[in-house]
């Protein structure tokens, strides 16, 4: 008898979901050892009730050490899977530390309306009440759900479905590690049911001009640094970023993307030298507005509702796609 269940392509990137501790009570301070994606799949035989799974490994790293090289490899694997007419949806297992960055990059560049669902775990595979197996099962169920189509890249952990645009890791140890900043969950897993609540408002995937091809072409990506503001901030790190060749600086300012008076001088010099200054905020929620007239005159671009780490990715994609274009940079932050 032929298996008519949907085919889900799983791409593993590492992270806690494939990490193991010394015993069942070790919840932190572990590393990836030899637990593989095959062992993960074997630990959840119930997956076979929902889908035919084919798996590949794009990386086996802790995601705090994520690189754009892995994004290229993962993006290519997603493109191949999306092009296979037999594949219904794609699941990516990934460390939670930078999951929101990789997912946001794919949300902007993956040219498919097939579901792409990121998941991971906060507890290692060996832990008491490990969260990886159920997160994986739910991610597969979501990726196989025809209603997930066209919603862009999703994060599914702890029974909550978030859009890659708004997901942010907001707790370093709890299984409820992610929040949907500004836009809350766009879906839930409730027992057997997947309950959909919304769609990302902004263009993504096929609706953007950003492509994996453009990203993969250059040997060196434009350097974009994130600088985090604080009391006694000065311009030293801004000048260091410019000296290191930064083409844009994401300034994670206080409040509404505000800038320390000392740092302001260095940012103004940077902007005068055609380094983009993106005004983001240390504050996770809300929207950074254009602010002071003098900032606008200098061409500083407000990050809107994007976190500094997501603003950095958008700035890189704009630089690669359009070169030095203040209009395109401003437009991108208003649009995506």
The secondary structure of residue 222, as a DSSP letter, is P
Nearer to ligand ASP, 59 or 270 (CB): 59
Question: Burial of 291 by CB count in 10 Å (0-12 exposed, 13-18 middle, 19+ buried)?
Answer: middle
φ/ψ of residue 309, rounded to 5: -70, -30
Count of residues engaged in binding ligand ASP, rule: CB under 6 A: 10
Dihedral angle over CA of 205, 209, 215, 220, nearest 10: -140
Strands 7-14 and 87-93: parallel
How far apart, in whole angstroms, are the C-alpha atoms of residue 102 and residue 106? Answer: 6
The answer to whether 40 and 125 have CB atoms below 8 angstroms apart is yes
The stretch among 92-100, 130-138, 156-164, 220-228 that binds ligand ASP (CB under 6 A) is 92-100
Catalytic residue among 2, 4, 16, 335: 16
How far apart, in whole angstroms, are the C-alpha atoms of residue 105 and residue 210? Answer: 9
C-alpha distances in Å from residue 135, one per residue of 109, 132, 156, 212? 25, 5, 7, 27
Look up residue 48 and give its two tokens: 């076979």
- Of all residues in the shown chain, the one whose CB is closest to ligand ASP is 95
Q: Looking at 89, 95, 180, 222, which residue binds ligand ASP (CB under 6 A)?
A: 95
Smallest distance, Å, CB 296 to ligand ASP? 37
Smallest distance, Å, CB 74 to ligand ASP? 14
The stretch among 91-99, 104-112, 238-246, 279-287 that binds ligand ASP (CB under 6 A) is 91-99
Residues contacting residue 291 through CB under 8 Å, at least 6 positions apart: 256, 257, 258, 279, 300, 302
The stretch among 60-68, 100-108, 155-163, 314-322 that binds ligand ASP (CB under 6 A) is 60-68
The secondary structure of residue 205, as a DSSP letter, is G
Type and span of the H or E element at 155: strand 153-157
Contact mark string toward ligand ASP, 101..130, x via CB under 6 A:
-------------------x-x--------
Q: By CB under 6 A, tell whether 63 contacts ligand ASP.
A: yes
16 catalytic? Reply is: yes
Smallest distance, Å, CB 16 to ligand ASP? 3
Contact mark string toward ligand ASP, 168..207, x via CB under 6 A:
----------------------------------------
Which residues make beta-bridge pairs with 112?
none
The stretch among 94-102, 138-146, 246-254, 286-294 that binds ligand ASP (CB under 6 A) is 94-102
Residues in region 13-32 near ligand ASP by CB under 6 A:
15-16
Which residues of this chain interact with ligand ASP, rule CB under 6 A? 15-16, 62-64, 95-97, 120, 122
Residues forming the active site: 16
């Amino acid at each position: 008898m032929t298996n008519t269940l949907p085919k889900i392509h799983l791409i593993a990137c590492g992270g806690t979901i494939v990490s193991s501790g010394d015993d069942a009570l070790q919840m932190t301070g572990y590393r990836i050892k030899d637990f593989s994606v095959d062992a993960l799949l074997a630990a959840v035989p119930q997956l076979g009730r929902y889908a035919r799974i084919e798996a590949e490994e794009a990386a086996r790293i802790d995601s705090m050490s994520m690189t754009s090289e892995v994004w290229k490899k993962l993006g290519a694997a997603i493109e191949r899977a999306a092009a296979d007419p037999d594949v219904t949806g794609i699941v990516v297992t990934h460390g939670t530390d930078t999951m929101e960055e990789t997912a946001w990059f794919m949300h902007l560049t993956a040219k498919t309306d097939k579901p792409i669902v990121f998941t991971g775990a906060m507890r290692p595979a060996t832990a008491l009440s490990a969260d990886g197996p159920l997160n994986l099962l739910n991610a597969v169920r979501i990726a196989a759900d025809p209603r997930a189509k066209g919603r862009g890249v999703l994060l599914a952990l702890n029974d909550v479905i978030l859009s890659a645009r708004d997901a942010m890791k907001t707790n370093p140890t709890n299984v409820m590690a992610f929040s949907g900043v500004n836009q809350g969950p766009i879906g839930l897993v409730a027992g057997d049911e997947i309950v959909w609540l919304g769609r990302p408002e902004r263009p993504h995937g096929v609706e953007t001009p950003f492509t994996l091809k453009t990203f993969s072409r250059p040997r060196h990506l434009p350097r974009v640094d994130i600088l985090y503001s604080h009391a006694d901030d000065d311009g030293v790190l801004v000048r260091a970023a410019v000296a290191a060749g930064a083409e844009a600086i994401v300034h994670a300012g206080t409040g509404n993307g505000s800038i320390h008076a000392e740092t302001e001088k260095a940012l103004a010099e940077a902007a005068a030298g055609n380094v983009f200054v993106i005004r983001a905020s240390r504050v996770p929620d809300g929207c950074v507005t254009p602010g002071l007239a003098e900032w606008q005159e200098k061409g500083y671009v407000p990050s809107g509702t994007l976190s500094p780490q997501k603003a950095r990715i958008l700035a890189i994609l704009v630089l690669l796609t359009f070169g030095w274009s203040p209009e395109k940079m401003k437009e991108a932050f208003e649009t995506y």
